């Protein structure tokens, strides 16, 4: 016991020298006449863990001070670069918070036996958005693995932020600008989808359903927005051939894919599986949102929900967004799982001519 105590005290001698100020205390610690029992309380008080924590706090405070001065220097001398730097820092913080939130949701699903379709709307949307962000960021991470490749990655991110970065790393101005770009790209495919529906309607044997589908396409092409009842009147066509999610022609699936920002340059079987996955996930989101209620959404959440479903919400008022989303949910809540294909076409039916919608490419 005495040997171990002496060994412990000898290891802590440097700590004592730095924290003890009086010669009297020093002489007590190193006096050969002092017993181990008298030295032991001092050894306990100045433990290595407390010293480590003190050093850690000191280093952390110094780093925070240096980082604050560095940010002030950038803000004063290089304001444009500071904005990018600040956006990246905040982006990583948001991404870290999302990862923690996703971990909590996954733990809840695992330990409580909660299925994805039974999650609350915000939890379901968080999982969907995080998976999408990670998928987009993964190639960039792989490219940055080789030595010195991070410099190339930084250049690419600077010149191609929309293509390479997730929204966490966009400035507020870029978020509005890029959403406008994506809405314009999606709107360019409204007309081809409507043409494809008119062509496919010739395969419908029921003359009444065929006429309703043609009238619906004609109304949207003329610049009018259809009623919910007019859309639901053709719902049975989207549960089997020729417009069911598993019965659509490959060419028509390629026309629909860009509405969800999915590449059409894949084999037909893979395109069909991706469309089915995204459509069913959107249907589950709609059901969770209906359970929660539109009034629970914040303004930003409301605009994001409209954007996901094909509407250019940045140019609309909050009331317009809420009105449009209410119409969408009226259609969605009436659909069966087998009719989920109508939900994909609803992106065109409801959003193509809504006020301030982006112009279509004829």
Q: What is the 3-state secondary structure (H, E, C) of 176-211?
A: HHHHHHHHHHHHCCHHHHHHHHHHHHHHCCCHHHHH
- Angle 119-122-123 from CA coordinates, rounded to 5°: 45
- Tell which wins on pLDDT, 78 or 277: 277
Place of tokens 């958005």: 129
The three-class DSSP label of residue 33 is: coil
The three-class DSSP label of residue 126 is: helix
Contact predicate 274/267, CB 8 Å? no
Q: Does the structure show a pLDDT above 60 at 6?
A: no
pLDDT band at 150 (very low <50, low <70, confident <90, very high): low
Q: What is the pLDDT of residues 252-277, one digit of tens each?
A: 999 999 999 999 999 999 999 999 99
What is the rounded distance in angstroms from the CA atom of residue 333 to the CA atom of residue 328?
9
Torsion of the alpha carbons at 324, 325, 331 and 332, rounded to the nearest 10: 160
What is the rounded distance in angstroms from the CA atom of residue 358 to the CA atom of residue 312?
7
Q: Does the structure show a pLDDT above 60 at 57?
A: yes
What's the token pair of residue 236?
Answer: 């049975």
What pLDDT was estimated at residue 256?
96
What pLDDT was estimated at residue 361?
42
What pLDDT was estimated at residue 42?
41
**Could you tell me the CA-to-CA distances from 221 to 27, 212, 224, 307 in Å, in that order?**
95, 14, 7, 21
Domain boundaries along the sequence of the chain: 2-46, 93-170, 186-351
Reported residue count of the chain is: 362
Most distant CA pair in the chain, distance:
110
Taking each helix axis from N to C end, the angle separating 268-292 and 299-308, rounded to the nearest 10 degrees, works out to: 150
Place of tokens 């003329």: 222
pLDDT band at 23 (very low <50, low <70, confident <90, very high): very low
Q: What is the pLDDT of residues 319-360, one digit of tens each?
A: 999 999 999 999 999 999 999 999 999 999 999 999 844 444
Q: What is the pLDDT of residues 94-138, one digit of tens each?
A: 989 999 999 999 999 999 999 999 999 999 999 999 999 999 888
What is the rounded distance in angstroms from the CA atom of residue 227 to the CA atom of residue 231?
7
Q: Does the structure show a pLDDT above 70 at 63?
A: yes
User: What mean pLDDT value characterizes the chain?
Assistant: 83
CA nearest to 293, candidates 175, 121, 114: 121
Q: Mean of the pLDDT values across residues 38-43? A: 42
What is the rounded distance in angstroms from the CA atom of residue 108 to the CA atom of residue 342?
32
Q: Does the structure show a pLDDT above 70 at 285?
A: yes
What pLDDT was estimated at residue 145?
75
What pLDDT was estimated at residue 148?
67
CA nearest to 353, candidates 234, 191, 233, 182: 191
Taking each helix axis from N to C end, the angle separating 2-11 and 36-45, rounded to the nearest 10 degrees, works out to: 40
What pLDDT was estimated at residue 90?
85
pTM: 0.77
What is the rounded distance in angstroms from the CA atom of residue 204 to the CA atom of residue 236?
11
Q: What percent of the chain has pLDDT over 70?
A: 81
**Could you tell me the CA-to-CA distances from 266 to 244, 251, 275 in Å, in that order?**
19, 11, 12
DSSP state of 317: -
Q: Mean of the pLDDT values across residues 19-27? A: 39
């Amino acid at each position: 016991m005495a040997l171990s105590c002496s060994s412990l005290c000898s290891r802590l001698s440097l700590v004592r020298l730095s924290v003890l100020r009086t010669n009297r205390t020093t002489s007590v610690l190193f006096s050969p006449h002092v017993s181990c029992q008298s030295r032991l309380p001092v050894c306990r008080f100045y433990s290595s863990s407390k010293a480590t924590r003190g050093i850690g706090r000191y280093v952390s405070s110094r780093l925070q001070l240096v980082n604050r001065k560095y940010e002030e220097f950038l803000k004063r001398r290089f304001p444009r670069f500071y904005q990018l730097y600040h956006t990246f820092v905040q982006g990583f913080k948001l991404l870290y918070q999302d990862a923690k939130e996703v971990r909590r949701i996954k733990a809840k699903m695992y330990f409580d036996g909660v299925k994805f379709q039974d999650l609350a709307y915000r939890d379901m949307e968080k999982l969907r958005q995080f998976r999408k962000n990670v998928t987009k960021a993964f190639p960039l991470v792989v490219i940055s693995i080789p030595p010195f490749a991070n410099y190339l990655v930084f250049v690419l991110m600077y010149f191609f932020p929309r293509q390479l970065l997730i929204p966490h790393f966009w400035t507020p101005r870029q978020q509005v600008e890029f959403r406008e770009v994506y809405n314009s790209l999606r709107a360019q495919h409204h007309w081809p989808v409507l043409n494809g529906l008119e062509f496919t309607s010739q395969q419908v044997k029921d003359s009444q359903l065929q006429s309703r589908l043609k009238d619906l396409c004609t109304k949207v092409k003329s610049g009018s927005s259809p009623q919910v009842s007019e859309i639901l009147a053709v719902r049975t066509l989207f549960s089997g051939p020729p417009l069911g999610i598993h019965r659509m022609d490959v060419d028509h699936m390629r026309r629909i894919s860009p509405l969800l920002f999915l590449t059409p340059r894949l084999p037909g079987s893979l395109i069909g599986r991706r469309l089915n996955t995204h459509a069913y996930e959107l249907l589950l989101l709609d059901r969770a949102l209906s359970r929660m209620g539109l009034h629970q959404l914040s303004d930003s959440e409301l605009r994001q929900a409209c954007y996901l479903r094909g509407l250019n919400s940045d140019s609309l008022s909050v009331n317009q967004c809420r009105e449009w989303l209410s119409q969408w949910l009226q259609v969605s809540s009436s659909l069966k799982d087998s009719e989920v294909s109508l939900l994909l076409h609803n992106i065109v039916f409801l959003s193509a001519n809504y006020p301030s919608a982006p112009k279509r490419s004829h």
